[in-house]
Amino acid sequence: MRKLSILALTLMSLSVSAQTLTTNTGSPVGDNQNSKTIGNNGHVLLEDIHLIEKLAAFDRERIPERVVHARGAGAYGEFVAAQDFSDVTMAHFLGQAGRKTPLFVRFSTVTHQQGSPETYRDPRGFAVKFYTEQGNYDIVGNNLPVFFIRDAIKFPDMVHAFKPSPLTNGASDPNRVFDFFSNIPESTHMLTWLFSDYGIPANYREMVGNGVHAYKWVNENGEVTYVKYNWRPKQGERNLTQEEANAIQSTQIEHATLDLHNAIKGGNYPQWDLYVQMLKKEDFDKLDFNPVDVTKVWSEKVAKSVFVGTMTLNRNADNYFQEVEQAAFSPATLVPGIEPSEDKLLQGRLFSYFDTQRHRLTGNFQQIPVNASKNKVTTYNADGYMSIRAQKGDVNYQPSTNLPEIKEDTKFKYSKSVFPAGTTTVQAKIDKENNFAQAGELYRSFSKKDQDNLIKNLSGALNAVNNKVIVHKMLAHFYQADKEYGTRLLKATNTSMNDVQQYLKK
């Protein structure tokens, strides 16, 4: 009798909590299993509104995949500032020790498609969206501290080289990749990072993040400080050897996504400390490289790291598509007190990232909840696909005599830039390219095990290249970075020094 009463209560509880299935317009659905037909075995009728809506919605479930950073995982959290940086930036979220700022983070692989294994050797995206009281601010970076190229005009070609062949549609092909990079000596530093074990992070929780580019922090006096960001995981950093990655990939392709989700679900909230390096423009000439060159790092000797604050991820997304897939980041998502530097790659990304989001998510992508600012948005940008921002009244322009209270805040004007007298427009390489020195320094900083794995990984990829001229040009780059580095690769690829000699920089 007691068992029956419990069953009855359970059924009553289910009945009370049960929800009625509806159409997109909220109308109740009477039958979700059988289409409306003429007779029991006749033709299906076009007037079955629920059927037509269901199929039409299904046909439109997919949006264009990101060209890069297609495979990703995300989570919500908060950032707590460690000190007051108002002397160097007007950014409000950095203006007081202990100030908390909510945020959303998306981690990703870079060159491969959705559904690809997360064990591939590939840079990892590390993008953070701060929901500040002055609007959103995005730090859009990678796990590795530098990049392959320094000018955005090369970016489409580089991505084409990484993507499947237009002839075979085969996966990333070393013949195509190294054909491109053999003509891009500035890539030597990044390739050294990528083919080391740092090229395969163990997961997202134990992964370093870097802003990669130099940015400008600007204070209320208009004074500019150049900065670089670095996220350091409090869980420690861990990477995989190629053999370890192969073992994981044989049983699971989304190990990093699940690791992040399960850790947060279990209350094991991952944390990262944010550090910043600072340089003044007057210090640039003292260096043997251009500090806004994205193929370079700033050593601690050049600029010491300063602790900025701590990020904690503590909540998973409720719906992957609506939040993680539709999350839109851009280095152009800035707040007062933070501006882009003259970095030629960054300058192109300021356009490209916003443009790709407009293509994927419509021109009103910033109104999607995960991208929407938490503070009030007052703008006369209007209408377009999927516009849901509250707008009313007769005036949809500015300035207006009828709305004198809506005005600009002049203290947030962009900082002034001073250019050398007689400057002209040019299309040329930057000064102080210094393409190889830091790649050599990186190689020499590696442990013997890391050096051995780098040689094994890189020579393995080069040995898959059919055109030996490409191999010889690549080896010349690595040899100029470090003689031992290049000599070991010569031996591992069965190449003579005579083959490489003609490609060494004169």
Contact indicator for 298, 258 with CB cutoff of 8 Å: no
The structure tokens 């992070």 sit at: 201
Helices and strands, counts by H and E, the chain: 13, 10
Output the pLDDT for position 506.
55
Reported as a single tens digit per residue, the pLDDT across 449-459 is 999 999 999 99
Tell me, yes or no, if 112 is annotated catalytic.
no
Contact indicator for 486, 440 with CB cutoff of 8 Å: no
Assign 308 to helix, strand or coil: strand
The structure tokens 């290249």 sit at: 465
Lowest mean pLDDT among 148-162, 236-250, 380-394: 380-394
Residue type, 99: R
Separation of alpha carbons 499 and 474, rounded Å: 11
Contact indicator for 111, 180 with CB cutoff of 8 Å: no
Tell me, yes or no, if 359 is annotated catalytic.
no
Contact indicator for 332, 350 with CB cutoff of 8 Å: yes
Separation of alpha carbons 101 and 87, rounded Å: 19
Domain spanning 73-147+206-367, CATH architecture: Beta Barrel (2.40)
The structure tokens 């993040």 sit at: 209
Contacts of 400 (CB under 8 A, 6+ apart): 406
The model's pTM? 0.92
Q: Which of 136, 142, 230, 371 is catalytic?
A: 142
- Give the residue extent of every domain in the chain: 73-147+206-367, 437-501
Reported as a single tens digit per residue, the pLDDT across 159-197 is 999 999 999 998 889 999 999 999 999 999 999 999 999
Q: Report the pLDDT averaged over residues 397-421.
A: 79
121's enclosing H/E stretch is none
Neighbours of 239 (CB within 10 A): 20
**Does position 320 have pLDDT exceeding 50, yes or no?**
yes
Cα dihedral 294, 295, 300, 302, rounded to 10, equals -70
User: Considering the chain, what percentage of its residues have pLDDT values greater than 90?
Assistant: 84
Output the pLDDT for position 411.
80
Output the pLDDT for position 407.
73
Q: Report the pLDDT averaged over residues 146-170.
A: 95
Q: Report the pLDDT averaged over residues 435-441.
A: 97
Question: Burial level of 409, CB count in 10 A (0-12/13-18/19+)?
Answer: exposed
Reported as a single tens digit per residue, the pLDDT across 59-102 is 999 999 999 999 999 999 999 999 999 999 999 999 999 999 99
Contact indicator for 297, 193 with CB cutoff of 8 Å: no
Instruction: Quote the tokens at residue 306.
Output: 């300063």
**Does position 1 have pLDDT exceeding 50, yes or no?**
no
pLDDT band at 111 (very low <50, low <70, confident <90, very high): very high
Reported as a single tens digit per residue, the pLDDT across 4-60 is 555 555 555 545 568 999 999 999 999 999 999 999 999 999 999 999 999 999 999
Beta strands in 154-223 (DSSP E): 209-210, 215-218
Lowest mean pLDDT among 5-9, 359-363, 406-410: 5-9
Reported as a single tens digit per residue, the pLDDT across 450-502 is 999 999 999 999 999 999 999 999 999 999 999 999 999 999 999 999 999 99
Separation of alpha carbons 338 and 341, rounded Å: 10
Instruction: Quote the tokens at residue 72.
Output: 């990703």
Contacts of 432 (CB under 8 A, 6+ apart): 287, 288, 289, 290, 293
Angle between helices 155-162 and 174-181 in degrees, nearest 10: 160
Residue type, 426: V
**Per-residue exposure over 42-80, b if at least 16 CB sit within 10 Å of its own CB, e if not:** eeeeeebebbeebeeeeeeeeeeebbbbbbbbbbbbbbb
Q: Distance between terminal CA atoms of the chain?
A: 95
